A and B are shown apart, each in its own frame.
Chain A
Amino acid sequence: MSAPAFAARPASSRQLAGTGTLLRFALRRDRVMIPVWVGVNALMVLSMPNTLEGLYGTPAERADLAGRMAANSSLRAMVGPVLGDSLGALTAWRVGVYAGALAAVVGLLVVVRHTRDEEESGRQELVASGMVGRRASLTAALLAAAVANGVLALLVTAGLAGQGAAGALAFGLGIAGVGMVFATTAAIVAQLTESARLARGLTAAALGSAFVLRAAGDSATDDGSSPLTWASPLGWLTNLRAFAGERWWVLGLFAGAVLVQGAVAYALAGRRDLGMSFLPSRPGPAAGRLGSAGALAWRLQRGGVLGWSTGFLLAGLVYGAMAEGAADLVGDNEGTREIFRRMGGQSGLTDAFLAAMAGVLGLVAALYVVASVLRLHGEETSGRAEPVLAGAVGRLRWAAGHLAVAFGGTVLLMLLAGAGLALGHGEQVGPLLAACLVQVPAVWVIGGVAVLLYGLAPGAATGAWGVAGAVLLIGWVGPALDVPRAVLDLSPFGHLPKLPGGDMEWSPVLVLTALAAALVAAGLAGLRRRDMTT
Chain B
Amino acid sequence: MTKAITVSGLHKSFGRTHALDGLDLSVGTGEVHGFLGPNGSGKSTTIRVLLGLLRADSGAAQVLGRDPWTDAVEIHRRIAYVPGDVTLWRNLSGGEVIDLYGRLRGGLDPRRRAELVERFELDPTKKGRAYSKGNRQKVALVAAFASDVDLLILDEPTSGLDPLMEEVFQRCVTEERERGRTVLLSSHILSEVEELCDRVSIIRKGRTVESGSLAELRHLTRTSVSAELAGPPGGLAGLPGVHDLDVRGRRVRLQVDTDKLDAVLRSLSESGVRSLTSTPPTLEELFLRHYQDEAEAAEGGVTVR
Contact = CB atoms under 8 A, between A and B. Distances in A.
A387 interface: yes
A65 to B, nearest CB: 50
Given A120-B129, A391-B76, A287 B104 contact: no
B53 A389 contact: yes
Contacts of A382: 87
Given A287-B124, A386-B83, A394 B95 contact: no
Given A292-B104, A391-B76, A283 B126 contact: yes
A466 interface: no
A293 B72 contact: no
Residue from A382, A386, A393, A532 whose CB has the most chain B CB atoms within 10 Å: A386
Contacts of A391: 76, 101, 104-105
Nearest to B153: A390
Nearest to A290: B100
Contacts of B127: 281-284
Nearest to A531: B54
A291 B76 contact: no
B169 interface: no
A384 B87 contact: yes
A287 B95 contact: yes
Contact of A392 (B87, B96, B98, B105): B105
A392 B83 contact: no
B245 to A, nearest CB: 48
Contacts of A383: 83, 85, 87
A289 B101 contact: no
A11 interface: no
Interface string A350-392: 0000000000000000000000000000000011101111111
B104 A393 contact: yes
A286 B96 CA distance: 7
Contact of A387 (B73, B77, B81, B96): B81
A392 B104 CA distance: 5
Nearest to B75: A392
Contacts of B53: 386, 389-390, 531-532
Nearest to B56: A531
A291 to B, nearest CB: 4
Residue from B55, B79, B88, B96 whose CB has the most chain A CB atoms within 10 Å: B96
A10 interface: no
Nearest to A295: B100
Contacts of A393: 73, 76, 104
A303 B87 CA distance: 20
B86 interface: yes
A530 B69 CA distance: 11
A292 B125 contact: no
B101 A285 contact: no
B48 interface: yes
Given A290-B99, A290-B100, A387 B86 contact: yes
Interface string B102-133: 01111000000000000000001111011000
B106 A392 contact: yes
A293 B95 contact: no
Report the interface size class on chain A.
35 or more
Contacts of B103: 290-292
B93 A284 contact: yes
Contacts of B105: 391-392
Contact of A291 (B77, B81, B88, B100): B100
Residue from B88, B100, B125 whose CB has the most chain A CB atoms within 10 Å: B100
B48 A532 contact: yes
A331 B90 CA distance: 55
Contact of B97 (A288, A303, A389, A392): A288
A193 to B, nearest CB: 11
A296 interface: yes
A391 B144 CA distance: 11
Interface string A388-405: 111111100000000000
A285 B98 CA distance: 11
A394 B124 contact: no
Contacts of A388: 100-101, 104
A391 to B, nearest CB: 3
A300 interface: yes
**Can you list the 9 inter-chain pairs with the closest CB atoms, starting with the nearest?**
A391-B104, A284-B93, A288-B96, A390-B81, A392-B77, A283-B125, A291-B103, A286-B95, A288-B99
Interface of B: 48, 51-55, 72-74, 76-77, 79, 81, 83, 85-101, 103-106, 124-127, 129-130, 140, 153
Given A284-B91, A290-B103, A389-B53, 17 more contacts: A120-B129, A195-B90, A283-B127, A285-B125, A286-B93, A286-B124, A290-B99, A300-B91, A382-B87, A383-B85, A388-B100, A390-B53, A390-B153, A392-B77, A529-B55, A532-B48, A532-B53
18 contacts: A194-B90, A194-B129, A195-B91, A282-B127, A283-B126, A285-B96, A287-B95, A288-B100, A289-B96, A383-B85, A384-B89, A387-B101, A389-B72, A390-B53, A392-B76, A392-B105, A394-B72, A529-B55
